């Protein structure tokens, strides 16, 4: 089957950028943001196959689409987020809404509906969340009761409600998860059906160009051919099959929006002269407010790129990796946007500058597609199983692999992250021995530390293998400085915060833990971080 | 009407910086684009092709990655893409480059109209287009705002000091195009890009086009770039302070002293 090649991917990204330059001014975004207005015409134009056809990325080639790979879609998601996260969310909602059809639809269902979505530029919405069923879809209450005729199933009657549905008030087609007699199932629901109503557009903190609304179903009749896969009870597996993939897209949103804020801050700092020199030349300003975020973004980029390539081979699974990417990149994006306001001072606090809007927008990436606390728990659960299965060697083996990377190239910080991974294995073992994971907070924190460790590992390892993530603007030497600074800080964080956690919740001896985690060696390797951050700051000044 | 458009991949000039110590261009993080003047020429060629039919071929000379701009042209509707790429071309100045491209165009053959951008934004010489016309011994009109075909001739508006000059040229002819100052190039839809994946890009060497080595590269180039540098900013600004009235007086005095006003 024909796939988009990397050159074409870059041409599509360029087309999207040029489209935005021509049609999406900052004034347009500000006006729609202020009026809480969904730019329907603009999105229909972006969906037009003769203009851009951005929605075709998720549609198989045989139905008029482009069958974009995970690598294609994350890059487009990053680019969309740099334009506007509300618009990006509108497009993503169509991707997400089409996913159950992709995963669970029969060939006939795919042929019928994908061709309609492609040609008629349909807005699609993904209707899963309910008042009591957010990240916990098992608590689903919307019912789909069978409608019988002469002993056969003629269709279903939907009753219930959904909330926080992106594109909820504007979609032409909805994929709705409801509880059938044989279990949760996905249904295709067209707008305008009797008994199907949409609530008002939510007045949100950010992503105000994205329509968000609740849905109500009162005896809405759905013909049986609109049950995806034509078999009841497959809904939860179908939903979970694509979490790795969909969360990677939200990770790309965090990265794109965060980078936009960060680059705005660097450009401002180059122009703003205080005390006789531009802010960009002031070490404290850069090291506190700007530079560390770019380190995290490049680490996130390396990780997203790495996982996307794995998902290109098989578009399912990797739920833990998807959670790591989503958690890490969205926290990085959100933190950078917060500091970008600070970096612009009073200007950053006004609506005249984009960072104020980006900060409001990017916060949602820490919430939707599973809150970041759910991500921490998912990461912890996934890796805790591995820790138990391997009798505590899961992370220490990773550490051994990184020592091999360090032998090949001593400039990547792989020795630091190797120590960090080994310390993580020790800390997890302490948690197991003392049953500390009965404390929910311990599981959250472990999820955070695991995410940091695995991202830092991938960043070092891929650079060591000569792999530079797609879309990076930095040269190899700067990326190495970033990987080094990141590895050192992550190792220190794992050891220090992990020890704090274990000591606070359990009965360990501090001296004993210090020795076991090799904390002094980790501290010794902190040397050089300031120099590396200086190098990175100079590069930021040079290229933006 | 068979048209050939000459295109070049260039660094996005807004983002190019020169390292003051080494005198080299900093390429890290600088995206490459289709030279905007060539982009405009291509857009005009596509319009003519739509009206008259025929075949539109794009030709570029550069390293292998220059294939990106050819793919862009193919996505936008060009029928055939040719890249002249060979170590023998490296270091060619505008004279040697126009010789090599003219040899490529001779090999394409059967052309009616050649369109070029007025100049490339990374060199600003505006010499390659005229050089190609010279080598091919065909008429040329430079600095044209538009081009159309009427009665078997090329009709153009040529930009001159204080206005434009309407001119005609017998075909085959070479036209170099200028562009509006706010020009944003046309872009292909995602489907057009995807479809263009099936259009091959042909790569031709010096030998393929029958170009003689003595006319190529550094040996075939009568000009040399001595040094690239960003001009030093020597003029220091002057900062005034005081009340609004005092400031107005000071600015007025400054303007009078500098004879900016009387």
| pLDDT tens digits, one per residue of B227-240 | 777 777 777 777 88
**Is some CB atom of chain B closer than 8 A to the CB atom of A31?**
no
Closest CA–CA distance from residue A72 to any residue of chain B (Å): 11
Q: Report helix, strand or coil for B179.
A: coil
A52/B28 touch (CB, cutoff 8 Å), yes or no: no
Query: Which letter does DSSP use for residue A286 in this model?
Result: I
Give the model's pLDDT for residue B61: 97
Torsion of CA A170, A172, A175, A180, to 10 degrees: 100
* Any domain includes B160: yes
**What is the SS3 assignment for A248-269?**
HHHHHHHHHHHHHHHHHHHHHH
Q: What is the CATH number of the domain that holds A439?
A: 1.20.140.10
Range of the domain at B103: 3-215
- In the beta sheet, which residues pair with residue B147? B156
Encode pLDDT of B40-95 as tens digits. 999 999 999 999 999 999 999 999 999 999 999 999 999 999 999 999 999 999 99
**Is some CB atom of chain A closer than 8 A to the CB atom of B75?**
yes
- Identify which of A11, A15, A53 has the shortest CB distance to residue B71: A11
pLDDT above 80: residue B105: yes
The residues of A carrying an active-site annotation are 369
For residue A76, CA distances in Å to A14, A50, A52, A304, B154 come to 10, 18, 12, 13, 41
Q: Does ipTM top 0.90?
A: yes
Which chain A residues contact residue B184 at CB under 8 A? 18, 21-22
Whether the Cβ atoms of residue A404 and residue A430 lie closer than 8 Å to each other: no
For residue A510, CA distances in Å to A173, A200, A504 come to 58, 55, 10
Give 3-state DSSP helix, strand, coil % of chain A, rounded to 5. 65, 10, 25
**Is some CB atom of chain B closer than 8 A to the CB atom of A276?**
no
Give the model's pLDDT for residue A237: 87
- Identify which of B68, B189, B196 has the shortest CB distance to residue A51: B189
| Cis before B172 (ω within 30) | yes
Pair (A114, A247) in one structural domain: no
Pair (A28, A109) in one structural domain: yes
- Identify which of B29, B184, B191 has the shortest CB distance to residue A22: B184
Range of the domain at A79: 6-122
* Any domain includes A200: yes
Which chain B residues contact residue A45 at CB under 8 A? none
Q: What is the CATH number of the domain that holds B47?
A: 3.40.50.620
* Any domain includes B262: no
Which chain A residues contact residue B28 at CB under 8 A? 473-475, 478, 539, 542-543
Distance CA A350, CA A65 (A): 41
- In the beta sheet, which residues pair with residue A173? A124, A190
- Identify which of A15, A56, A539 has the shortest CB distance to residue B187: A15
Of all residues in chain B, the one with the smallest CA distance to A15 is B187
Pair (A224, A265) in one structural domain: no
Domain count, chain A: 3
Distance CA A191, CA A188 (A): 10
Q: What is the CATH number of the domain that holds A41?
A: 1.10.540.10
**Is some CB atom of chain A closer than 8 A to the CB atom of B68?**
yes
Q: Could you report how far apart the first and last alpha carbons of chain A are, in Å?
A: 39
* Any domain includes B110: yes
Which chain B residues contact residue A12 at CB under 8 A? 190, 193
Give the model's pLDDT for residue A137: 75
Distance CA A396, CA A392 (A): 8
Which chain B residues contact residue A80 at CB under 8 A? none
- Identify which of A18, A49, A53 has the shortest CB distance to residue B184: A18
Last residue of a domain, one of A82, A100, A122: A122
Domain count, chain B: 1
* Any domain includes B258: no
A328-348 CB burial, b ≥16 within 10 A, e <16: bbbbbbbbbbbbbbebbeeeb
Pair (A394, A513) in one structural domain: yes
Give the model's pLDDT for residue B260: 86
pLDDT band at B29 (very low <50, low <70, confident <90, very high): low
A138-153 CB burial, b ≥16 within 10 A, e <16: eebebebeeeeeeeee
Pair (A226, A247) in one structural domain: no
Of A388, A540, A427, A402, which is closest to residue A484 (Cα–Cα)? A402
* Any domain includes B197: yes
A473/B189 touch (CB, cutoff 8 Å), yes or no: no
Encode pLDDT of B140-188 as tens digits. 999 999 999 999 999 999 999 989 999 999 999 999 999 999 999 999 9
Which residue pairs from A437-440 have beta carbons closer than 8 angstroms and sit at least 24 positions apart in sequence? A437/A380, A437/A384, A439/A505
* Any domain includes B224: no
Closest CA–CA distance from residue A475 to any residue of chain B (Å): 6
Pair (A415, A315) in one structural domain: yes
Residue whose structure tokens are 């050192």: A488
Chain A interface disruption, residue of B194, B199, B230, most A CBs within 10 A? B194
Q: Report helix, strand or coil for A150.
A: coil
A11/B72 touch (CB, cutoff 8 Å), yes or no: yes
Chain A interface disruption, residue of B190, B199, B230, B236, most A CBs within 10 A? B190
Sign of the four-CA dihedral A309, A310, A314, A319 = negative
**Is some CB atom of chain A closer than 8 A to the CB atom of B67?**
yes
Last residue of a domain, one of A122, A143, A177: A122
Of B1, B261, B17, B208, which is closest to residue B122 (Cα–Cα)? B17
What phi, psi does A316 have (nearest 5°)?
A: -120, 165
Pair (A443, A325) in one structural domain: yes
pTM > 0.90: yes
Pair (A196, A323) in one structural domain: no
**Is some CB atom of chain A closer than 8 A to the CB atom of B77?**
no
Of all residues in chain A, the one with the smallest CA distance to B18 is A542
* Any domain includes B26: yes
Pair (A61, A189) in one structural domain: no
Pair (A114, A136) in one structural domain: no
The one-digit pLDDT tens for each residue of chain A (544 residues) are 889 999 999 999 999 999 999 999 999 999 999 999 999 999 999 999 999 999 999 999 999 999 999 999 999 999 999 999 999 999 999 999 999 999 999 999 999 999 999 999 999 999 999 988 776 777 899 999 999 999 999 999 999 999 999 999 999 999 999 999 999 999 999 999 999 999 999 999 999 999 999 999 999 999 999 999 999 999 998 888 777 788 999 999 999 999 999 999 999 999 999 999 999 999 999 999 999 999 999 999 999 999 999 999 876 779 999 999 999 999 999 999 999 999 999 999 999 999 999 999 999 999 999 999 999 999 999 999 999 999 999 999 999 999 999 999 999 999 999 999 999 999 999 999 999 999 999 999 999 999 999 999 999 999 999 999 999 999 999 999 999 999 999 999 999 999 999 999 999 999 999 999 999 999 999 999 999 999 999 999 998 9
Pair (A161, A307) in one structural domain: no
Pull the structure tokens for residue B83: 């890249």
* Any domain includes A513: yes
pLDDT above 80: residue B207: yes
pLDDT band at B15 (very low <50, low <70, confident <90, very high): low
Closest CA–CA distance from residue B29 to any residue of chain A (Å): 4
Pair (A60, A152) in one structural domain: no
* Any domain includes A544: yes
Last residue of a domain, one of A182, A207, A233: A233
Whether the Cβ atoms of residue A203 and residue A212 lie closer than 8 Å to each other: no
Of all residues in chain B, the one with the smallest CA distance to A475 is B28
DSSP element (H, E) containing A404:
helix A394-408
* Any domain includes A1: no
A19/B194 touch (CB, cutoff 8 Å), yes or no: no
């Amino acid at each position: 089957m024909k796939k988009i090649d990397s050159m074409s991917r870059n041409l599509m990204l360029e087309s999207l950028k040029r489209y935005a330059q021509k049609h999406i001014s900052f004034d347009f975004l500000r006006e729609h943001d202020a009026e809480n207005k969904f730019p329907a015409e603009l999105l229909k134009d972006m969906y037009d196959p003769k203009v851009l056809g951005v929605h075709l990325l998720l549609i198989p080639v045989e139905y008029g689409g482009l069958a974009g790979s995970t690598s294609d879609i994350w890059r487009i998601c990053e680019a969309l987020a740099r334009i506007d996260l509300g618009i990006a969310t509108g497009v993503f909602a169509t991707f997400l809404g089409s996913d159950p059809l992709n995963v669970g639809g029969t060939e006939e269902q795919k042929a019928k509906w994908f061709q309609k979505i492609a040609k008629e530029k349909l807005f699609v919405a993904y209707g899963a969340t309910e008042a009591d069923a957010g990240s916990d879809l098992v608590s689903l209450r919307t019912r789909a009761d069978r409608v019988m005729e002469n002993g056969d199933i003629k269709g279903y009657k939907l009753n219930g409600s959904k909330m926080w549905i992106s594109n909820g008030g504007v979609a032409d087609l909805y994929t709705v998860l409801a509880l059938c007699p044989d279990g949760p199932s996905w249904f295709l629901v067209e707008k305008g059906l009797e008994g199907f109503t949409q609530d008002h557009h939510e007045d949100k903190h950010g992503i105000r160009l994205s329509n968000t609304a609740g849905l109500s179903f009162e005896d809405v009749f759905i013909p049986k051919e609109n049950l995806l896969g034509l078999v009841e009870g497959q809904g939860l597996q179908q939903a979970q099959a694509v979490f790795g993939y969909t969360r990677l897209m939200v990770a790309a949103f965090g990265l794109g929006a965060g980078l936009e804020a960060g680059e705005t801050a660097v450009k401002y700092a180059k122009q703003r002269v205080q005390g006789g020199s531009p802010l960009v030349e002031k070490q404290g300003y850069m090291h506190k407010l700007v530079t560390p975020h770019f380190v995290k973004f490049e680490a996130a980029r390396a990780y997203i790129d790495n996982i996307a390539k794995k998902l290109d081979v098989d578009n399912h699974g990797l739920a833990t990796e998807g959670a790591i990417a989503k958690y890490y990149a969205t926290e990085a994006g959100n933190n950078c946007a917060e500091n970008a306001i600070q970096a612009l001072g009073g200007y950053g606090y006004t609506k005249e500058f984009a960072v104020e809007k980006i900060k409001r927008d990017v916060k949602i990436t820490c919430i939707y597609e599973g809150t970041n606390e759910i991500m921490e728990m998912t990461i912890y659960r996934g890796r805790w199983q591995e820790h138990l299965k391997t009798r505590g060697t899961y992370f220490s083996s990773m550490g051994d692999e990184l020592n091999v990377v360090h032998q090949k190239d001593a400039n990547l910080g792989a020795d630091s992250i190797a120590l960090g991974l080994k310390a993580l294995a020790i800390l997890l073992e302490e948690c197991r021995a003392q049953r500390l994971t009965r404390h929910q907070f311990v599981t959250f924190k472990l999820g955070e530390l695991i995410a940091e460790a695995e991202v830092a590992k991938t960043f070092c390892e891929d650079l060591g293998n000569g792999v530079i993530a797609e879309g990076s603007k930095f040269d190899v030497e700067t990326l190495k400085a970033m990987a080094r600074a990141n590895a050192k800080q992550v190792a220190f964080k794992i050891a220090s915060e992990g020890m704090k956690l274990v000591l606070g919740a359990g009965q360990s001896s501090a001296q004993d833990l210090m020795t076991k985690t090799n904390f002094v060696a980790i501290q010794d390797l902190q040397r050089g971080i300031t120099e590396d951050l200086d190098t990175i700051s100079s590069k930021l000044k040079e290229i933006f | 009407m068979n048209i050939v458009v000459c295109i070049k991949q260039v660094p996005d000039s807004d983002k190019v910086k020169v390292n003051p110590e080494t005198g080299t261009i900093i390429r890290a993080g600088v995206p490459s684009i289709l030279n905007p003047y060539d982009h405009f020429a291509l857009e005009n060629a596509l319009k003519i092709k739509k009206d008259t039919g025929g075949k539109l071929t794009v030709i570029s000379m550069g390293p292998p990655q220059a294939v990106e701009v050819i793919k862009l042209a193919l996505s936008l509707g060009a029928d055939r893409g040719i890249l002249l790429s060979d170590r023998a071309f490296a270091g060619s100045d505008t004279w040697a480059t126009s010789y090599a491209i003219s040899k490529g165009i001779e090999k394409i053959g059967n052309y009616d109209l050649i369109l070029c951008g007025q100049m490339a934004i990374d060199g600003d010489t505006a010499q390659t287009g005229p050089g190609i016309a010279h080598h091919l011994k065909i008429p040329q009109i430079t600095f044209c705002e538009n081009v159309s075909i009427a009665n078997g001739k090329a009709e153009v508006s040529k930009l001159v000091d204080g206005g434009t000059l309407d001119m005609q040229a017998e075909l085959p002819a070479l036209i170099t195009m200028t562009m509006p100052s706010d020009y944003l190039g046309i872009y292909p839809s995602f489907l057009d890009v995807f479809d263009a994946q099936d259009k091959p890009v042909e790569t031709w060497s010096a030998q393929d086009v029958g170009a003689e080595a003595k006319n190529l590269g550094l040996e075939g180039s009568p000009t040399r770039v001595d040094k690239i540098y960003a001009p030093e900013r020597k003029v220091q600004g002057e900062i005034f302070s005081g009340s609004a009235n005092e400031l107005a007086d000071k600015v007025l005095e400054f303007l009078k002293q500098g004879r900016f006003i009387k």
